[in-house]
Amino acid sequence: MNKKEIVRMLLNEKIDKESEEELLNILMEKPIAINVDKKAESDLKFGEKLANKISNIVGSWLFIFIFIVMLIFWIILNVVVLKDKQIDPYPFILLNLALSCISAIQAPIIMMSQNREAKKDSLRNQNDYKIDLKSELILEDLHDKIILLLKNQKKILEIYEQNNDL
Q: Tell whether 70 is covered by a domain.
A: yes
Q: Say if CB 33 and CB 131 are below 8 A apart.
A: yes
pLDDT value for 52: 87
pTM (two decimals): 0.66
DSSP per-residue string spanning 92-131: THHHHHHHHHHHHHHHHHHHHHHHHHHHHHHHHHHHHHHH
Q: Tell whether 20 is covered by a domain.
A: no
Alpha carbons 93 and 106: distance in angstroms, whole number: 20
The total number of structural domains that make up the chain = 1
Q: Tell whether 12 is covered by a domain.
A: no
Range of the domain at 97: 31-165
CB proximity list for 124: less than 8 A, separation 6 or greater:
36
* Burial (CB count <10 Å: 0-12, 13-18, 19+), residue 52: middle
CA angle 148, 153, 157 (to 5 degrees): 150
* Burial (CB count <10 Å: 0-12, 13-18, 19+), residue 6: middle
pLDDT value for 2: 73
Q: Tell whether 10 is covered by a domain.
A: no
Q: Which of 47, 7, 20 is nearest to 141 (CA)?
A: 20
pLDDT value for 164: 85
Q: Tell whether 21 is covered by a domain.
A: no
Q: Tell whether 19 is covered by a domain.
A: no
Alpha carbons 38 and 126: distance in angstroms, whole number: 15
Q: Tell whether 6 is covered by a domain.
A: no
Alpha carbons 107 and 91: distance in angstroms, whole number: 25
10-residue stretch averages of pLDDT, the chain, 166 residues long: 74 71 79 83 87 89 94 92 85 93 92 90 92 90 95 95 83
Q: Which of 114, 118, 97, 120 is nearest to 38 (CA)?
A: 120
Q: Tell whether 150 is covered by a domain.
A: yes
